[in-house]
Chains A and B, each alone.
Chain A
Amino acid sequence: MQDYIVGAVVASAIAFFVVFGLVPPLIKMLTKKNWMVKDVNRIGGAMIPRPGGPVILAGIIASEISLYFLLPQHTFTTKAIIALLITTSIGFIVGFIDDRKVMGGWFKPVALIAAAIPIILLGAYEPNLVFPLFGEVKIPALYLGLILIMIPITGNTINSIDVMNGIASGFMTIATFSLAIALFILQNYSIAILTLPLAFASLAFFRYHNFPAKIFPGDSGAITLGAAYGAIAIIGHVEVIAAIALLPAIINSFLFLSSVKRIVEHRQVKGPTVHTDDHKITATKEIDAPITLVRLIVAAKPLTEKQIGNTIFKLAIFSGILAIITALVSGFRI
């Protein structure tokens, strides 16, 4: 047990301080290279450095490698760490390509299938899908397909919620801590500890990404977080609980896809929101603009960017609580 506690504390500290310490020099470097984008919601439209993905990846890699040496050596834990590292790294590369060169709407979902392959090749999964309260279903062949689509879904889902200052990193902080608590409740201690680097890397990045943002994660940052989250869900055998913790982001993707009716790069569609004269955000009157979570939140009345962020965090906390409740009732069978 002592190994687990030491591993958890050390890995959490490494993830947090690597990200926390490396963001300021990255901001300087990105500013010098003029890798900046306009913050369209900021009064005056400030230029913000992007992407912060390299630092998020560095934090996760450094922390997971420390766990490789600190946790008791079990075959599955070793495979899990290696699979998580490779999947997260491929997710980062896919996002970074999209950061530097805007690709078509299909690029990220298709390219992220490659990120799922290491989990299959390393055998870092159980081919049974667990449904809380009811038990598990053995679906060996179908489960392989599920792995291949799960990483593209989680990667793109987190990327699609990265619409305002602090939302992607703040949302991931809440969802990942909820998932870690759920894993501890299920007594899956090794994977719960492997989740902590993602949670603490998100938390440290949130410090700089929160309103008013000093850096944006970019596609590389958001997809890195999403791919790592999806990998943990598969490796930890908590696919359903992980999906529940992610429900607000899933709703956002669902609303977007059901209104646009095709997979498309968000830059290619009309904005779902517009600014009022007092610089609040309100729903657009354009009939063919997509419906998104933010558009629904501001449908009743215009809100500031900070208020929208806080509402999404409340939704994330609500989903996180539902995920934890699901883990708590997992021991019961109907």
Chain B
Amino acid sequence: MSQVLIFIFIAIMWVLILAGGGILVTMVSKISITGYGQHLDFFLASIVKAIIAIALVGAWVLVLTKLKNKIFQKQIKA
């Protein structure tokens, strides 16, 4: 059973990777900032996108940590 859980964990990671990519492409990449001049707008938008992307990775790790604790609770305690 414990080995089946590892396969399930991998499948969940796969779905999370694809879903995270979806959020980045459909939402984060569309962010634009205007009103500070062409170069500064692009620079500020890049910084905002980078911060959101890094926060998404942080959220991804947090979700995986929670899932890991839930899925492998028995094994980890053992």
Interface residue ranges, A against B (CB under 8 Å): 129, 131-142, 240, 243-244, 247-248, 250-251, 254-255, 258, 283, 291, 293, 295-297, 299-300, 311, 315, 318-319, 322, 326, 334
Contacts and interface: CB of A to CB of B under 8 A. Distances in A.
A254 B6 contact: no
Contacts of A131: 18, 21-22, 24-25
Contact of B46 (A141, A247, A297): A141
B29 A300 contact: no
Contacts of B61: 254
Given A248-B10, A251-B10, A315-B6, A258 B65 contact: yes
9 contacts: A129-B24, A133-B22, A247-B10, A251-B9, A251-B10, A254-B68, A300-B2, A326-B14, A334-B22
Nearest to A241: B17
A131 B56 CA distance: 14
Interface in B1-58: 1-3, 5-7, 9-11, 13-14, 17-18, 21-22, 24-26, 28-29, 46, 49-50, 53
Contacts of B9: 251
B2 A315 contact: no
A48 B8 CA distance: 36
A133 to B, nearest CB: 6
Main secondary structure on chain B at its contact with chain A?
helix
A319 B76 contact: no
The 6 A-B residue pairs whose C-beta atoms are closest, nearest first, are A131-B21, A299-B75, A134-B25, A300-B2, A137-B29, A134-B22
A191 B20 CA distance: 26
A322 B16 CA distance: 13
In the complex, which range does the number of interface residues on chain B fall in?
20 to 34
B10 A139 contact: no
Interface of B: 1-3, 5-7, 9-11, 13-14, 17-18, 21-22, 24-26, 28-29, 46, 49-50, 53, 61, 64-65, 68, 72, 74-76, 78
A251 B71 CA distance: 13
A319 B53 CA distance: 24
Given A137-B25, A139-B46, A283-B78, A247 B2 contact: no
B50 to A, nearest CB: 5
A74 B66 CA distance: 47
A136 B25 contact: yes
Contacts of B3: 297, 300, 311
A244 B2 contact: no
Contacts of A140: 46
Contact of A132 (B13, B18, B29): B18
Given A131-B25, A250-B13, 12 more contacts: A133-B22, A134-B22, A136-B25, A251-B9, A251-B13, A254-B61, A255-B68, A296-B5, A299-B75, A300-B1, A300-B3, A311-B3
Nearest to B5: A296
A254 B21 contact: no
B75 to A, nearest CB: 4
Contacts of A295: 75
Contacts of A319: 10, 14
A244 B17 contact: yes
B29 to A, nearest CB: 5
A158 to B, nearest CB: 17
Contacts of A322: 10-11, 14
A141 B49 CA distance: 11
Given A247-B13, A258-B68, A318-B10, A139 B21 contact: no
A142 B50 contact: yes
B76 A137 contact: no
Contacts of A326: 14, 18
Given A254-B64, A283-B75, A142 B24 contact: no
